[in-house]
């Protein structure tokens, strides 16, 4: 019997079952045919945040940011670099705290940039402040 990873499609939000024996890097959504992994973070909203963190079986790391935040702008390319190195083993997502305040409040985000790592729908680690891609990668590896 094969083991599967559940991956939420960033385009249509369908939950896909990807066999661990198949290369996830090239996997496409069974519903809309969108590529499931692009090596870039996915922008989430209050409406789809819980589905992504709860229904994705691989670890999910969230970057909480805002467009007016200088340190967030500095960290954004580093977060993207980490995504390109670690996908498809880890899902990278971003949440704009200015536009999606309910989720930021739910997780008690008081300073940005901030990251939360989720495993099996549960928050397992928090990290605040600007980080380089290698620091992000090390932090994730140390917590999964």
Active site residues: 69, 72
Map tokens 């969230």 to a residue. 62
116: β partners: 62, 126
Q: Are 61 and 116 in contact (CB under 8 A)?
A: yes
Q: Are 91 and 84 in contact (CB under 8 A)?
A: no
4: β partners: 19
Concatenate the DSSP letters of all residues of 70-88 into one string: HHHHHHHHHHHHHHHHHTT
- 127 torsion bin: left (phi>0), alpha (psi -120 to 50), beta (else): beta
């Amino acid at each position: 019997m094969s083991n599967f990873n559940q991956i939420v499609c960033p385009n249509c939000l369908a939950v896909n079952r990807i066999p661990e024996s198949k290369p996830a890097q090239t996997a496409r959504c069974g519903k809309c045919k969108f590529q499931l992994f692009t090596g870039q973070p996915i922008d989430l909203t209050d409406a789809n945040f819980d589905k992504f963190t709860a229904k994705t079986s691989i670890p999910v790391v969230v970057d909480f940011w805002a467009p007016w935040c200088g340190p967030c702008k500095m960290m954004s390319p580093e977060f993207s670099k980490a995504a390109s190195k670690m996908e498809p083993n880890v899902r990278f997502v971003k949440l704009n705290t200015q536009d999606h305040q309910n989720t930021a409040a739910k997780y008690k985000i008081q300073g940005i940039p901030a990251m939360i790592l989720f495993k099996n729908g549960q928050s397992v680690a928090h990290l605040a402040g600007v980080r380089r891609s290698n620091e992000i990668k090390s932090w994730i590896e140390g917590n999964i």
